[in-house]
Copies of this chain bind each other. A is one copy, B any other.
Amino acid sequence: DFAKIDHHRALRKGFPEVVFCQGKTQDQIITILKKMSEQYPNLLATRVQPDHFLAVQKEIPDIQYHPTARLFILERKPAEKKGCVAVISAGTADLPIAEEAAVTAELAGSYINRIYDIGIAGIHRLFSHLDQLWQSNVIVAVAGMEGALPGVVSGMVGRPVIAVPTSVGYGAHFQGLSALLTMLNSCSPGIATVNIDNGFGAGYLAHLINQLAEGEK
């Protein structure tokens, strides 16, 4: 009786409760996912540990493991896709978080345009992608270190930007604090920020906005 699955959520929010695996034991994760997989065709579990996969798969054979994004995914009835979310990242080391966002939004029913490693130290790399960014409904911009990418993009493209600071960096980066503060203080309007390394939350919100833009409420 350690977990009360929030069954209303599928109704309220259009997607069943997503399981946050950090801090849960393998047994707890299996019990929760098992029970949910009997009721919902699609599932998402975040921040999973690789060594839990085999045991989970034993109980739910068609569950998949996405190693970069650290996700378990069940996708028996793929959602029909509509509209485009751009997921961009400043550096290569931001990939796990960018992929967490991309896969979340994809599973929920968005097309994804991934554009990675276009950080501001070589800002010209961003310019050749401006058209693609205007063609998406919403942009998820992921960056560590100084975290300036989301603000620069928001200054150039008239789309909502969801900024995701990552813990990539060292020293006065303070595990992502520096990138977080940069994004919160951006002078460009049209931007909002999620928690450090919260690719899931950004992908989820991006899909919500994309859906609205495609006329679904």
Contact = CB atoms under 8 A, between A and B. Distances in A.
Contact of A200 (B20, B121, B189): B189
Chain A residues touching B, range: 35 or more
How many identical subunits does the complex contain? 8
A124 B13 contact: no
Interface of A: 1-4, 6, 8-9, 12-14, 17-18, 20, 22-24, 28, 32, 47, 90-93, 95, 114, 116-125, 137-138, 144-148, 151-152, 154-160, 162-163, 165, 167-198, 200-202, 204-205, 208-209, 212-213, 215, 217
A5 to B, nearest CB: 9
B116 A2 contact: yes
B194 A192 contact: yes
Contacts of A20: 91, 93, 187
B159 A208 contact: yes
A191 B201 contact: yes
12 contacts: A2-B92, A17-B122, A121-B151, A123-B123, A146-B183, A160-B212, A169-B185, A178-B184, A182-B182, A184-B194, A189-B200, A192-B192
A103 to B, nearest CB: 14
